[in-house]
Chains A and B, each alone.
Chain A
């Protein structure tokens, strides 16, 4: 039996394509200050441990961890970095609180993607240095190959994938924090520049800057500190084969296994019925469909029809990426997972403004580590 853990505070800066006005340090500070204010805690007195999720290369620093404590009030406290997707940070905090060692924790992640002048060259360094990197490809070709295989195996069409881009960018118009809201047609997406066949430019998300901090607490603390705690009912994470030569190309196995782990902890037997809405990874349009199937949020091969019928629209019976997702909000590198959590928490608290969903009590957040990785995490949150 796991200890109950709740999200009691969140803070974020709006997501924008460029943020020349603030440094990453100022961005972290701003998000942290808002989160602590929201949770009603003082980081120096009340928070027992901090975890941040950042990669060195995306920040152009070695040991990026060095730069963190001063900006989030963590000097001379427990603080560690996970060079991982930020949903792993939530899972990490969930574990640490479950040991009983700590009661209140903060999770921080941010993106300053606009500082990267040549992000594709940077991502190329994530390729296997012996077998793949020397070939000198733009690493995003992997997404094209994967999409092609997924379409082949599932019968999903390019048009159905394009609908995901259309839906999520339209959703983003109602999200004041989103960077890439737009009203597009399927043809706009299909006819946009072909990048890595069959992936076109508008099938792909664009980078954005922004910082997010969430505060978590054990049940006892949450009940004293917070009127509307959002409970973490389950977390899961998993890595599939990293090498291109041995991985599964059609199915998102990492998402399936991470989902199974989270459902087991949360006691969810039938996800499609017990979960009300989801924020899943949509770095590319097809990824949303692939992940919905892997997470058993629709029957195998049905994700394309689901988006076609409008079931995943904001007004549909299973809304997906109401925030706008990565396609609408912008791709936040390591912070992407926390953006998903942010939206689920806002919806469950009833604080999502114009895009508020009605009668929702259980939401799912899922993330993928991004090209060329083959891993990801899942969290199930609830307001009950």
Chain B
């Protein structure tokens, strides 16, 4: 299998409402990424786009519209889509564009503009469900998360206060991220006292909606070695989709994340992810999801994630930092862009370029993961140096 490296990265500041159009966000970030590795758009052989539902900005065939902004003019260009799992999948897609031997340089662009969905992007999610069995219930996305969080807490005897520690940790980590939207020093009591959205999910358990873009440059081994001394290799990729029928799944455990992780670990030759992975960026749109996903990523036994959290092992200075970037809770949740932000965080951490949030001890391998659709898809990427 052909080796593929990440050689450049760019990211805009995540914010509630960006003045730029989606095209402009994509252009600015693509330029940042190319500048970071001294390439120009002429060096790019193909472009992949990740952006979540068209309903956010009410643009049908959104990737066509974003094409020239993303640098795809007169180039092979395609969009991949796995709901909330899109961001990390975009990295998988860029990987196979290059690994297939058909292209040497692939630009992976993710862009999200949620602020154009008024009054709130929640309205777009309501049209996800099955039109016969689910939509008529008038559910919001938060209800689904509330069910899952409740089931997870019940299955393992975990409390809301324990889960709140995830928000505290991630928002604190985000203080050092120059692009973060909602960093902060908060306490467990702040989380517990914040407004209840859908019990047991409280406002500070939830990541903000964001506008933003992240771009990575992927290159073949030969090309990467020519332009950089510090390529970061794509060691494994995996993605997996479970049934849409939420009533047919036991929500206490994300089996689809485990399957996707096993695909990626097999490719990377990882036998024991608890020891062989130095940093993890599990997707954390809600506080409990970081723990839930870490279990799916086989970073601990089922129900044990909260113990690692409470004894400090997942802090930035701990044994295996989780979400050193600040995650979706701290940096912001510009759906597809946040997925790729997690891959970008691994890139910066593994190159030792993460500035104030650099994980000590020269990390050599990291895993990033996103999740989405109707709580049914896991996408996983393993990077290493």
State the A residues within 8 Å of B (CB). Answer: 1-2, 55-57, 60-63, 65-70, 74-84, 88, 91-92, 94-96, 98-101, 122-123, 125-126, 128-130, 236-243, 246, 253-254, 257-258, 261, 265, 369, 372-375
Give which listed residue, A67, A240, A373, contacts B73 with CB less than 8 A. Answer: A240
A83-B243 contact, Cβ under 8 Å, with A66-B373, A99-B100, A237-B76:
no
Asked if B83 contacts A65 (CB within 8 A), the reply is yes
User: In this assembly, does B177 line the interface, its C-beta being within 8 Å of a C-beta of chain A?
Assistant: no
Q: How many pairs of A and B residues are in contact by the CB < 8 Å rule?
A: 191
User: In this assembly, does B351 line the interface, its C-beta being within 8 Å of a C-beta of chain A?
Assistant: no
Q: Which residues of B contact A1 (CB under 8 A)?
A: 101
B74-93, CB < 8 A from A: 74-83, 89, 93
Asked if A66 contacts B244 (CB within 8 A), the reply is yes
A81-B82 contact, Cβ under 8 Å, with A67-B244, A76-B255, A129-B57:
yes
Give which listed residue, A2, A100, A126, contacts B60 with CB less than 8 A. Answer: A126
Q: Which residues of B contact A77 (CB under 8 A)?
A: 240-241
- How distant is the Cα of A80 from the Cα of B260 in the complex, in angstroms? 13
A-B contacts besides A56-B54, A76-B241, A79-B241, 5 pairs, CB < 8 Å? A60-B127, A68-B244, A75-B243, A76-B243, A122-B60
User: In this assembly, does B53 line the interface, its C-beta being within 8 Å of a C-beta of chain A?
Assistant: yes
- How distant is the Cα of A76 from the Cα of B59 in the complex, in angstroms? 30
Give which listed residue, B79, B101, B131, contacts A83 with CB less than 8 A. Answer: B79
Asked if A63 contacts B74 (CB within 8 A), the reply is no
A128-B65 contact, Cβ under 8 Å, with A61-B131, A63-B53, A80-B81:
yes
Q: Which residues of B contact A98 (CB under 8 A)?
A: 99-102
Asked if A63 contacts B242 (CB within 8 A), the reply is no
User: In this assembly, does B259 line the interface, its C-beta being within 8 Å of a C-beta of chain A?
Assistant: yes
Asked if B83 contacts A63 (CB within 8 A), the reply is yes
- Minimal beta-carbon separation of A378 from chain B (angstroms): 11
Q: Which residues of B contact A56 (CB under 8 A)?
A: 53-55
User: In this assembly, does B140 line the interface, its C-beta being within 8 Å of a C-beta of chain A?
Assistant: no
Q: Can you name 14 A-B residue pairings with CB atoms under 8 Å? A: A60-B131, A65-B241, A66-B376, A69-B243, A69-B376, A81-B80, A99-B1, A101-B99, A125-B59, A130-B21, A237-B78, A238-B74, A242-B64, A372-B64
Quick one: which of B55, B65, B73 has the most chain A CB within 10 A? B65
- How distant is the Cα of A79 from the Cα of B53 in the complex, in angstroms? 17
Asked if A62 contacts B240 (CB within 8 A), the reply is no
- How distant is the Cα of A128 from the Cα of B57 in the complex, in angstroms? 11
- How distant is the Cα of A214 from the Cα of B57 in the complex, in angstroms? 33
- Minimal beta-carbon separation of B79 from chain A (angstroms): 5
A78-B1 contact, Cβ under 8 Å, with A55-B54, A95-B100, A239-B64:
no
Contact pattern, B 123-167, Cβ under 8 Å of A = 1, otherwise 0: 011011011000000000000000000000000000000000000
Q: Which residues of A contact B237 (CB under 8 A)?
A: 101
- Minimal beta-carbon separation of A361 from chain B (angstroms): 24
Asked if A65 contacts B373 (CB within 8 A), the reply is yes
- Minimal beta-carbon separation of A46 from chain B (angstroms): 17
Closest to B76 in A: A237
Closest to B375 in A: A66
A62-B82 contact, Cβ under 8 Å, with A70-B245, A77-B241, A375-B64:
no
- Minimal beta-carbon separation of A64 from chain B (angstroms): 8
Contact pattern, B 221-262, Cβ under 8 Å of A = 1, otherwise 0: 000000000000000011111111100000000011001000
- How distant is the Cα of A68 from the Cα of B96 in the complex, in angstroms? 22
Q: Which residues of B contact A75 (CB under 8 A)?
A: 241-243
- How distant is the Cα of A100 from the Cα of B52 in the complex, in angstroms? 28
Asked if A62 contacts B245 (CB within 8 A), the reply is no
- How distant is the Cα of A91 from the Cα of B79 in the complex, in angstroms? 13
Closest to B127 in A: A62
- Minimal beta-carbon separation of A150 from chain B (angstroms): 19
- Minimal beta-carbon separation of B61 from chain A (angstroms): 4
Q: Which residues of B contact A92 (CB under 8 A)?
A: 78
Give which listed residue, A74, A82, A130, A242, contacts B79 with CB less than 8 A. Answer: A82
User: In this assembly, does B68 line the interface, its C-beta being within 8 Å of a C-beta of chain A?
Assistant: yes
